[in-house]
Amino acid sequence: MQIRRSAIGPIAATLAGIIAVVAWGGVARSQQQDPPADQRPRFSQTGHLVKPVGWEAWVMVGSSTGLSYAAAPPPAAGAAPGMFHNVYVQPWAYREFDRTGAFPQRTMFVLSFYEASRKSAPARAGFYEGDRLGAIEVHLKQAGIDKTGWGFFGFGDSAATAAMIPAAAPCYSCHATEAAHDQVFTQFYPPLRERLARAAAH
């Protein structure tokens, strides 16, 4: 089959366009990192989330004490306002959020709890994080897990797995209406809040 010379130009341009699109898609996929095996959400045969391991070494994005989503009486004079709540996210998810401004699928936030303490010298005022409670909570982003795209899981002190908290629980509606970005309370997490502010400024 002969191809007229006049047709070679359009054909070449079309092929170049196809190659460029395929190449761009390959670059985008290469930039999107998959989570390391030890940072991926895992599920048991019964569909329960397996308790994350090594989360203590993840990126801590926020900490609070006395923070409540409902009205509460002030603490007694000299008493701590409440437990410390620390929030961690997988390092790979943190990097992806910093790069794109979006939480990737399989992002997990871990909420841990610490007693407020002031018993160690030389402390004379204020509170620091004391003993850690064994329980944690996990907020997981995974397509299809819930209409919000996120699921909540609560792990007791010695629990190895946890069923997803039912969608009727108030945590889902609270995050849907009050969270600043994609079901996450980024307004309470300085590095995430600052990343979103930089994006909004451009």
What the chain holds in terms of domains, given with CATH numbers, is 36-68+81-201 (3.50.70.20)
Nearest to 141 by CA among 99, 183, 179: 183
Q: How far is CA 97 from the centre of its chain?
A: 9
pLDDT range class, residue 31, cuts 50, 70, 90: low
Q: How far is CA 148 from the centre of its chain?
A: 14
- Over residues 126-151, the pLDDT tens digits come to 899 999 999 999 999 999 999 999 99
User: What is residue 137's DSSP assignment?
Assistant: E
Q: Phi/psi at 38 (nearest 5 deg)? A: -80, 0
Query: Distance between CA atoms of 85 and 82, rounded to whole angstroms?
Result: 9
The model's pTM is 0.81
The secondary structure element, H or E, covering residue 85 is: strand 84-89
Residue bearing tokens 């699921």: 151
The contacts of residue 25 (CB under 8 Å, 6+ apart) are none
Q: Phi/psi at 69 (nearest 5 deg)? A: -90, 5
According to DSSP, the residues that pair with 63 across neighbouring strands are: 86
Q: How many CB atoms lie within 10 A of CB 191?
A: 15
- Over residues 80-109, the pLDDT tens digits come to 889 999 999 999 999 999 999 999 999 999
